[in-house]
Amino acid sequence: MKILVCVKQVPSRDAILRLNETSQWIQERDIAYEVNEPDAYAVEEALRIKEKLGGEVVILSMGPERAQITIKDALAKGATRAIHICDPKLEHLDPLTQCRVMAEAIRREGFDLLFTGLQSDDNGFGQTGVILGELLGVPSATIAMAVEIQPDGKTVKVKRELESGWFQWYELPLPASITIQSGLNQPRYATLKGIMEAKKKPIQKLSAANLGFDEAALTPKQHVEKVYFPVKNKKTEIIEGSAKEAAAKLAAKLKEARALV
């Protein structure tokens, strides 16, 4: 089984975000980054399938140089090798154009299973896995909470999370594209041995030109004109003071508001 996992590096959840000079994106300097949360679960799921059925797990990441850290972490956990699409021309693409670039790299590689996270923390398109399925001509299923390769090795059963507590099983022929929801397994940590081994694992670097994308092919279909902090609609009463002072004031306010039961 050859499993390709798309892994994205995103600002860490705790990062205090600031806008950049042109207010078209955040300031990317001086903040910490981490793996996009569901992608970590996707890597774990792929590794478990590989451990059971054999084959390889190939990591695909598109992003700047710093994404190497996230790629190496996946390799340290046990992924076989990686593809890093790294080119300033490929930053801030719209969902379709981004997927066209990724699909080209994936097509050259080939796969039985393609995993993506269900949504990225930064762009939050929630579209990548589905579009990749379409562009690569394979069926897709989203928001997977379980992935079971069937004994025939030709089909996969996917437990999809639906709204309000419902789930549904779907069966798809391989190859297929599946978007992974957080929580379907417990991701492992990289071991020291894994970290050492990862140093020797190949990371293939690709640029827009390598993949045959010139400026015309990258003409944006959407444009982020401006980003800004949302204006708060509700008047939240922010309680100031030291932790102790604020706590005392809050306790009194809750009593006053008859919120204590």
Partner 1 sequence: MKGILVFIEQREGKLNRVSYEAIVAGQRLAQTLSQEVSAVVVGFNISDIATEVATKQLSTVYSVEHELLSNYTPDGFALAMKQAVEQLEPLMVIFPHTYLVRDFAPKLAASLGKSMVGDCISYKYEDGRLRFVRQIFQGKINADVSITDTPPYFVSFQSGAYRGDDVITDGAAPIVRLEVTISPEQIRIKPLELFREAKQSVDLTQSKAIVAVGRGIKSAENIVIAEKLAAVLGADLAASRPICDNGWLPMDRQIGSSGQTVAPKLYVALGISGAIQHVVGMKNSSVIVAINKDANAPIFDIADFGIVGDLFEVVPALTEELQKLKEG
Ligand X SMILES: Nc1ncnc2c1ncn2[C@@H]1O[C@H](COP(=O)(O)O)[C@@H](O)[C@H]1O
Ligand Y SMILES: Cc1cc2nc3c(=O)[nH]c(=O)nc-3n(C[C@H](O)[C@H](O)[C@H](O)COP(=O)(O)OP(=O)(O)OC[C@H]3O[C@@H](n4cnc5c(N)ncnc54)[C@H](O)[C@@H]3O)c2cc1C
Region at 120 (left for phi over 0; alpha for psi -120 to 50; beta for the rest): beta
**Cβ-proximal residue to ligand X, closest one:** 117
Can residue 225 be called a binding residue for ligand Y (CB under 6 A)?
no
Q: Calculate the alpha carbon distances from 43 to 13, 106, 230 in Å.
A: 19, 16, 33
Q: How many residues are listed for the chain in this entry? A: 261
Interface size with ligand Y, residues (CB under 6 A): 5
Can residue 118 be called a binding residue for ligand Y (CB under 6 A)?
yes
Nearer to partner 1, 192 or 257 (CB): 257
Contact 50, 111 (CB under 8 A): no
Smallest distance from ligand X to CB 127, Å: 4
Nearer to ligand Y, 243 or 260 (CB): 243
Contact 106, 136 (CB under 8 A): yes
Which residues within the stretch 133-172 sit at the binding site for partner 1 (CB under 8 A)?
A: 133-135, 139-143, 157, 160-163, 165-172
Which residues within the stretch 140-179 sit at the binding site for ligand Y (CB under 6 A)?
A: 143
Query: 59: closest CA among 132, 144, 2?
Result: 2
- Provide the Cα torsion 126, 39, 115, 119; round to 10°: 0
**Phi/psi of residue 140, nearest 5 degrees:** -135, 155
Contacted entry of ligand Y, ligand X, partner 1, none for residue 223, CB cut-off 5 to 8 Å set by kind: partner 1
Which residues within the stretch 6-25 sit at the binding site for ligand X (CB under 6 A)?
A: 6-8
CA 203/CA 216 separation, integer angstroms: 28
Can residue 14 be called a binding residue for ligand Y (CB under 6 A)?
yes
| Identity of the amino acid at 31 | I
CA 142/CA 177 separation, integer angstroms: 8
Interacting span for partner 1 (CB under 8 A) from 57-65, 68-76, 94-102, 200-208: 94-102
Smallest distance from partner 1 to CB 107, Å: 15
Site string for ligand X, 209-248 (x = CB under 6 A): ----------------------------------------
Binding residues (CB under 6 A) for ligand Y: these are 13-14, 118-119, 143
